[in-house]
Amino acid sequence: MSIRHQTKANKEGQGEKPHLDFFLFLPHLLDLFSLLHSTMGLWSVRSRLAHHLGQKMAYLGALQRRSWPLVSFLQLWNPRPSELVGGLSSNPINRCSDRRFASIKAETSAAAMDDRCRYQVMDFPGGKVMFIPEMRFLAESPGERISCYRVLDDDGQTISGSSFQEVSKEIALKMYSDMVTLQIMDTIFYEAQRQGRISFYLTSIGEEAINVASAAALTINDIVFPQYREPGVLLWRGFTLQEFANQCFGNKSDYGKGRQMPIHYGSNRLNYFTVSSPIATQIPHAVGAAYSLKMDKKHACAVTYFGDGGTSEGDFHAALNFAAVMEVPIIFFCRNNGWAISTPTTEQFRSDGAVIRGQAYGLRSIRVDGNDALAVYSAVHAAREMAIRESRPILVEALTYRVGHHSTSDDSTKYRPVDEIEHWRTARDPVSRYRKWIERNGWLCDDAESELRSNVRKELLHAIQVAEKMEKPPLAELFTDVYDQVPSNLHEQERLLRETIKQHNGDYPPEVPV
Partner 1 sequence: MALRGLGRRISIGKRCFSSASEVEKRPRDGKQINLFSAINQALHIALETDSRAYVFGEDVGFGGVFRCTTGLADRFGRNRVFNTPLCEQGIAGFAIGLAAMGNRAIAEIQFADYIYPAFDQVVIPRSPQQAKGLLLACIRDPNPVVFFEPKWLYRLAVEEVPERDYMLPLSQAEVIRQGSDITLVGWGAQLSVLERACDEAAKDGISCELIDLRTLIPWDKETVEASVRKTGRLLVSHEAPVTGGFGAEISASIAERCFLRHGLQLEAPVARICGLDTPFPLVYEPFYMPTKNKVLDAIKATVNY
Asked if 173 and 181 count as a contact pair (C-beta separation under 8 A), the reply is no
Residue 135, phi-psi category: left (phi > 0), alpha (psi -120 to 50), beta (remainder): beta
How far lies 498's CA from each of 257, 475, 477, in Å? Answer: 19, 9, 13
Separation of alpha carbons 331 and 374, rounded Å: 18
The active-site residue, picked from 162, 177, 204, 407, is: 407
Residues in binding contact with partner 1, number by CB under 8 A? 56
The active-site residue, picked from 191, 390, 499, 511, is: 191
What mask of x and - would describe binding to partner 1 in positions 255 to 274, judged by CB under 8 A? ---xxxx-----------x-
For 206-267, what is the HEC assignment? CCHHHHHHHHHCCCCCCEEECCCCCHHHHHHHCCCHHHHHHHHHCCCCCCCCCCCCCCCCCE
277 is catalytic: yes
Which residue, 259, 243, 150, 248, is CA-closest to 192?
248
Separation of alpha carbons 244 and 231, rounded Å: 9
Asked if 48 and 89 count as a contact pair (C-beta separation under 8 A), the reply is no
Q: Considering all CA atoms of the chain, what is the largest pairwise distance in Å, rounded to the nearest integer?
A: 100
Separation of alpha carbons 221 and 135, rounded Å: 50
97 is catalytic: no
191 is catalytic: yes
If one asks whether residue 138 binds partner 1 (CB under 8 A), the answer comes out as no
Q: How far is the CB of 490 from partner 1 (least distance, A)?
A: 6
The active-site residue, picked from 47, 277, 409, 432, is: 277
If one asks whether residue 293 binds partner 1 (CB under 8 A), the answer comes out as yes
Tell me how many degrees the CA angle 137-141-143 measures, rounded to the nearest 5.
100
- Residue span binding partner 1 (CB under 8 A) among the ranges 91-99, 147-155, 291-299, 416-424: 291-299
Applying CB under 8 A, which of residues 101, 131, 415, 508 lies at the interface with partner 1? 508
Applying CB under 8 A, which of residues 199, 221, 413, 450 lies at the interface with partner 1? 199
If one asks whether residue 168 binds partner 1 (CB under 8 A), the answer comes out as no
Which residues 316-345 are close enough to bind partner 1 by CB under 8 A?
317-319, 321-322, 325-326
Separation of alpha carbons 100 and 134, rounded Å: 12
Which residue, 320, 455, 310, 480, is CA-closest to 393?
320
Q: How far is the CB of 320 from partner 1 (least distance, A)?
A: 10
163 is catalytic: no
Q: How far is the CB of 344 from partner 1 (least distance, A)?
A: 24
- Residue span binding partner 1 (CB under 8 A) among the ranges 40-48, 180-188, 405-413, 496-504: 496-504
If one asks whether residue 489 binds partner 1 (CB under 8 A), the answer comes out as yes
If one asks whether residue 125 binds partner 1 (CB under 8 A), the answer comes out as no
- Residue span binding partner 1 (CB under 8 A) among the ranges 55-63, 120-128, 139-147, 276-284: 276-284
Separation of alpha carbons 218 and 385, rounded Å: 10
Q: Which is nearer to partner 1, 166 or 481 (CB)?
A: 481
Query: What amino acid positions are annotated as catalytic residues?
Result: 191, 277, 406-407
| Residue ranges that bind partner 1, judged by CB under 8 A | 199, 223, 225, 250, 258-261, 273, 281, 283-293, 295, 302, 314-315, 317-319, 321-322, 325-326, 472-473, 475, 477-479, 482-485, 487-490, 493, 497, 500-501, 503-504, 507-509, 512
